[in-house]
Amino acid sequence: MTGINISSLDRQVKDIGQEIYAAKQQRDEMLAKSAPESKAGGLQKAIHEKLSDKSNVAFGDMAATLSISALGAEELEKVRDSWNNHPVSSLYNTEIPVSKNAEGAYKIGGVSFTEEEFTAARELVTDTSSQLKTGYLSYRDYAKMEVAQKVVDERAAKGFRAEQAQVISRAMKDYNNGLVERQSEMLSGRSIRTNEDPASDRFFGVEVLVPGSATDDGSPRYASTDIATDKELIKTLRDSIKSVDITGRDAASELKALYQNIMKPVYGAQYPFQRESDVNDALDRDLKELIALIDLEK
């Protein structure tokens, strides 16, 4: 066993002088020749025991720290690989401190980014995610989440290496999942009830309590919302949007036809006494936001 280059450990251990490093290298080579490899623990165990022997003057109080170098090459690589390896959430959560690893790169989700690449990746995810609503989610919001995912996937595939693009896509998916989880948490902690209207209950089954301080007569009451509650419809809407090529010439028209076909009956159930023109206006407002997201890709 030859000495292991520990220059990449400078962020994890004390500064080690050149003389100590040379002594360690020579010591490891001697141990490699004399340690039994076939017995329990083998070479790695023997080296670990020797390096942990604090009676040695040269290694003294650093022996325990340096014992990590007795790991096999594969194990050591795993340790090194984990240092400064940041979660994909660091691409959308700018409050997470991000530092470079020993090689001077940003490691996100196990993949290395240069400073320029990291900045571009974070801007792509944060610029897109900033267009999405945080809080109670309507069907429009779920549709926007899916369009945002497609925008990020497309731009990442074009502007980054394949492994980097996968990390960026995961970051956007992680952000969207967080929005869904947040809605569930908000609903579990609020005063809500099932909508008593059988027609709209399937699609909009949640009403929220409006406090008396916010009503005209000072009496608290429940109010209807556009919170999406039909999980099957949510899945249908999102899966349908996945099939749209947002880079195509007819992307806007295809998205408009798809969305209207799915959501017009839904809005009709929610607003049964409204004129059809009012329902169409609501659909147009939704589509304007969806198409604006597609324009981000351009």
Q: Where are the domains of the chain?
A: 7-82, 88-297
Q: Is the pLDDT of residue 248 over 60?
A: yes
Q: Which of 63-67, 160-164, 211-215, 259-263 has the least mean pLDDT? A: 63-67
Burial of 121 (0-12, 13-18, 19+ CB in 10 A): buried
Main-chain phi, psi angles of 103, to 5 degrees? -90, 0
pLDDT at 218: 83
Amino acid at 179: L
pLDDT tens per residue, range 20-36: 344 445 555 554 454 44
Q: Is the pLDDT of residue 122 over 70?
A: yes
Higher pLDDT, 152 or 51: 152
pLDDT tens per residue, range 173-212: 999 999 999 988 887 866 666 666 666 667 877 777 778 8
Categorize the per-residue pLDDT at 70 as very low, low, confident or very high, splitting at 50, 70 and 90: low
Mean pLDDT across 101-119: 93
Mean pLDDT across 85-92: 94
Q: Is the pLDDT of residue 138 over 60?
A: yes
Categorize the per-residue pLDDT at 145 as very low, low, confident or very high, splitting at 50, 70 and 90: very high
Q: What average pLDDT does the structure give for the chain? A: 76
The CB density around residue 136, as the number of other CB atoms within 10 Å, is 17
Strand 106-108 vs strand 85-86: parallel, antiparallel, or unpaired?
Answer: parallel
pLDDT at 81: 57
Q: Which of 84-88, 131-135, 157-161, 292-296 has the least mean pLDDT? A: 292-296
Categorize the per-residue pLDDT at 274 as very low, low, confident or very high, splitting at 50, 70 and 90: low
- CA-wise closest residue to 73 among 101, 53, 43: 43
Which are the contacts of 243, defined by CB distance < 8 A and separation ≥ 6?
Answer: none
pTM for this entry = 0.68
Q: Is the pLDDT of residue 8 over 70?
A: no
